[in-house]
A and B are shown apart, each in its own frame.
Chain A
Amino acid sequence: MSDEAFGADDPGDASGADDPGDAAGVDDAGDASGAADAAVLDSLRLADSSLPVGTDSVSYGIEQFVAADRVTDADDLAALLGSVLRRQLGPGDLVALRAAHEGAADGDLAAVTAADRRLDAATLPAEFRESATRTGGRLLRLQSDLRDDEFVTEYAALADAGEVPGAYPAVLGAVAARAGVGQRRACLVACQEFTTAVVGAAQRLLAFGHTDAQRVVVDCQPAMVEAVETSAGRSLADLTMFTPLVDVLAADHERADRRLFVS
């Protein structure tokens, strides 16, 4: 794949060009066409924690950090989330998301599944793969129920048959492209969704209030933007997620007797 082919990475982000259908326009620069509004609304829907894909059952390893007293308050949480966003999502999940987005915008299912498989091969903790596959599968089924889009239906069928992992970031990239949501915005959706899911999990594990929870989300915004920048212009062969302490704690979490979250 061409590293330069992700056309939508500049901050202005005219990523409406990725729209497979009629919609166009700049997805965040004041273009108020109906299609652009629909894409914005869909991106908000995809980032919403009420999206029924099961992200409320995952903590992305944070549960074990709490159990090991490595995360004891909102500040610890913000610091850990910042490094996971920068070191795992940026050079990993979002690179696959972008590749899947590009493939889906081009109607190229093989490109989407290549991104999906590569991300799965690069995600070493078993429980992270399992939860990505579970939530990704639900998102695919949901989207194929909601939309009459042969592309999504076909992808969902492959995932259901176990032919492809259906990892959440790849699925999100694909369905976002099909909904006219630009690539950069889709990356931001992934970061927002990840952050709010983890903060929600942490609120159930640690005693901190809603204001603190929102403060963590806001504190993570620079890391989200950094992650999106990091992912730009990378090829699938250059997934370099590197969070070894997360790997080690996830290995403990897999075997924890009592746990609230599946990852």
Chain B
Amino acid sequence: MASGPARRTGDPAAADDSEQPDCAGDEDPAGTAGGGDARRSGSADGTASGVDDPPHPAFAEYATESVPQAPVGAAGKDGRLDLAFARAGGETRLVRDFARVPFHVSGTLGHDPHPASETVYVQSPSGGVAQGDRHTVTVSVGANAVAHVSTGSATKVLSMERNYAAADLALSVAAGGHLDYVPAPTILHEGARLCQDVTVDLAPTASAVVGEVLVPGRLARGERFDFDRYRSTCEVRVDGEVRVADATHLDPGDADPAAPGVMGEFAVLGTLYVLAPDADAPSLSDRLHERVTAAAARDASETSERGEPAESDGASAESDAETVRAGATALPNATGVLVRALGHRADPVTHALRAAWDGARTDLLGVGAPADRRQ
């Protein structure tokens, strides 16, 4: 990712990549690009700026569309969340929690099985991500701190007629620290446009679990891949050096998401990056593969006990809403493990990823994943 998020995480070594066409161009606090001041204030066209300048080429056309009904929500369009955790003796403390609408942090939870862990659930009372939104999130975990950040409910990316939404997420973990960033699913409503860049900066002895469940619409009402465009990148750096660069790009109007090898018959995409440069990635990969495929098979067999078919593969499985196809593989440059899960509904995919997350925590921290406080 470009220099924006890297600078915010204070990692000069990570800021060396040039000309990255991400959602988040260079910070332009002076608003030197023409009209920058107006956009920054969110008043001229209702588009908060700072995250999208210049826009990714795939979103450039949307960027020319001004957002008409700005002023009411304008305060929430430039959303910002900064969380910092530090180790203090036997515990981890939330030492910074700056949140600007629509983000809200109501406090910490101590329910994690890890004795030193601190948990923050981020609330977003605004109802969803809207056109023109430019959100910036940074989470930094200090040396030996253990933090878990999640969201209180699913992130709804709302229908858009003009412009688009962009989000910049910069996560960093210092030596010996651990971060779990496993939010509730992201739901892309009809007409939604989201350009998102995630960067993870790790010290060689740090670890992180970063997850996402992507739901292509309000499936229960028959909305499916009706969004305009979703582009998300995840770049992982260790000591400032790019180790992993993943991208998800769905543009249903132009390229069929159901194409073979892409989503196939599935709708929901789950991804879990288990990042642990210190770990023995091939063996961790094998264990997580076993965990995630066992969880997927268990879901399917529970379904079959209810008298429904439970084939785990092939086109005949299309009718089985619980079917999940999942697997794990070692990430490039011995950075950790990728877990992917594809399914028809969000819950079984979340469940399968959770099994992998639990396995990863057990491996890395000696304790499993914390209970889900949303339920």
Q: Spell out A's residues near B (CB within 8 Å).
A: 1, 3, 61, 65, 68-71, 76, 79-80, 82-84, 86-88, 91, 117-118, 120-127, 129, 235, 237-252, 254-255
Tell whether, in the assembled complex, residue A244 and residue B314 are in contact, meaning their CB atoms are under 8 Å apart: no
Tell whether, in the assembled complex, residue B329 and residue A244 are in contact, meaning their CB atoms are under 8 Å apart: no
Least CB distance from B1 to A in Å reads: 8
Within 8 A of A (CB), among B337-374: 338, 340-342
Residues of B within 8 A of A91 (CB): 249
Residues of A within 8 A of B248 (CB): 240, 242, 244
Q: Count the B residues whose beta carbon is within 8 Å of the partner chain — how many?
A: 47
**B80: Cβ under 8 A from any A Cβ:** no
Tell whether, in the assembled complex, residue A245 and residue B262 are in contact, meaning their CB atoms are under 8 Å apart: yes
Least CB distance from B318 to A in Å reads: 12
Least CB distance from B350 to A in Å reads: 16
- Most chain A beta-carbon contacts within 10 A, residue among B264, B315, B338: B264
Tell whether, in the assembled complex, residue A76 and residue B260 are in contact, meaning their CB atoms are under 8 Å apart: yes
Tell whether, in the assembled complex, residue B242 and residue A246 are in contact, meaning their CB atoms are under 8 Å apart: no
Closest 4 CB pairs of A and B: A251-B327, A240-B247, A83-B259, A237-B20
- Contacts known (A87-B255, A122-B247, A240-B231); A79 close to B260, Cβ less than 8 A: yes
Tell whether, in the assembled complex, residue A70 and residue B313 are in contact, meaning their CB atoms are under 8 Å apart: yes
Residues of B within 8 A of A126 (CB): 282, 285, 329-331
Q: How far is the CA of A62 from the CA of B303 in the complex (A)?
A: 29
Tell whether, in the assembled complex, residue B21 and residue A235 are in contact, meaning their CB atoms are under 8 Å apart: yes
Q: Mark B295-331, 1 if CB is under 8 A from A, else 0.
A: 0000000000000000001110000000001111111
Residues of A within 8 A of B342 (CB): 244-245, 248
Nearest-CB residue, chain A, relative to B246: A124
Tell whether, in the assembled complex, residue A235 and residue B263 are in contact, meaning their CB atoms are under 8 Å apart: no
Nearest-CB residue, chain B, relative to A129: B332
**B180: Cβ under 8 A from any A Cβ:** no
Least CB distance from B214 to A in Å reads: 10
**B156: Cβ under 8 A from any A Cβ:** no
- Contacts known (A70-B314, A235-B19); A244 close to B262, Cβ less than 8 A: yes
Residues of A within 8 A of B289 (CB): 251, 255
- Contacts known (A121-B333, A126-B329, A255-B286); A242 close to B262, Cβ less than 8 A: yes
Tell whether, in the assembled complex, residue A252 and residue B333 are in contact, meaning their CB atoms are under 8 Å apart: no
Residues of B within 8 A of A79 (CB): 259-260
Residues of A within 8 A of B314 (CB): 68-70
Q: How far is the CA of A86 from the CA of B332 in the complex (A)?
A: 22
Least CB distance from B57 to A in Å reads: 8
Residues of B within 8 A of A240 (CB): 231, 233, 247-249
Residues of A within 8 A of B182 (CB): none
Tell whether, in the assembled complex, residue A120 and residue B327 are in contact, meaning their CB atoms are under 8 Å apart: no
Tell whether, in the assembled complex, residue B21 and residue A237 are in contact, meaning their CB atoms are under 8 Å apart: yes
**B89: Cβ under 8 A from any A Cβ:** no
Q: How far is the CA of A249 from the CA of B259 in the complex (A)?
A: 15
Tell which of A1, A82, A121 touches B19, judged by Cβ atoms closer than 8 Å. Answer: A1
Tell which of B57, B245, B331, B338 touches A118, judged by Cβ atoms closer than 8 Å. Answer: B245
Tell whether, in the assembled complex, residue B262 and residue A248 are in contact, meaning their CB atoms are under 8 Å apart: no
Least CB distance from A207 to B in Å reads: 19
**B244: Cβ under 8 A from any A Cβ:** yes
Q: How far is the CA of A121 from the CA of B330 in the complex (A)?
A: 11
- Contacts known (A244-B269, A255-B289); A83 close to B313, Cβ less than 8 A: no
